[in-house]
Amino acid sequence: MVQTPNIYCLVKGAAEGRTRLNAFDNALLEAGVGDTNLMRMSSILPPAALQTEVTDLVLPKGGLIPLAYASIDSTTPGRLISAAIAVGIPEDDREPGVIMEFEDHAQLSNVEEIVRQMVIDGFEYRNRKLKEIKSIGIEHKVERCGAVFAAAVLWYR
């Protein structure tokens, strides 16, 4: 049986690279999760999970790390790319929260506005009361080949 994560952190990174995959990998390194294997998951925050900083996480090198993330890349110089993630915290900490992610060729303010509304909608669909929204995002103007990445990393105390 897989243990349920009880902490989470929000991370972000933007980078250039020789190829799209190199740019994505460099963005992961900037976000602090570059030496792990990402396990992309659907967007539910475990009940009563506590927020922490990426510097407080002890992620095993090469470990399988569950996270929800937004990512976009481009090879068009001058193009703006943005990614954001938002976490909805329920009023009742026995209930799970909601994590939403969004990326686009747009300004970060637009992307964050959309992802935060997605959280509000997710709570409405579930008939849960929303206590708080926490979000993080990043934008990048592509020089040659760029990528952005924003994630909610789930882990264990």
Counted domains in the chain: 1
What's the DSSP call for residue 48? T
* Known active-site residue 103: no
User: Which residue, chain included where needed, has tokens 């209930």?
Assistant: 95
Report DSSP letters for 115-127, one per residue. HHHHHHHHHHHHT
At residue 72, φ and ψ (nearest 5 deg) are -150, 150
In a domain, 2, yes or no: no
List pLDDT tens digits, range 16-64.
999 999 999 999 999 999 999 999 998 899 999 999 998 888 899 999 9
Q: Which of 101, 103, 112, 139 is catalytic?
A: 101
Q: In percent, how much of the chain has pLDDT > 90? A: 93
Q: How far is CA 143 from CA 20, 72, 77, 106, in A?
A: 12, 14, 5, 16
Q: Which of 37, 53, 91, 109 is catalytic?
A: 37
CATH number of the domain that 83 lies in? 3.50.20.10
Give the pair of three-digit tokens for residue 67. Answer: 């996270």
Q: Which domain holds residue 44?
A: 7-155
Element (H, E) at 66: strand 64-74
Regarding pTM above 0.85, the answer is: yes
* Known active-site residue 109: no
What's the average model confidence in pLDDT over 97-113? 98
In a domain, 1, yes or no: no
* Known active-site residue 74: no
Q: How far apart are CA 11 and CA 33, in angstroms?
A: 9
* Known active-site residue 127: no
Whether residue 1 has pLDDT greater than 70: no
Q: Which of 26, 30, 43, 139 is catalytic?
A: 43
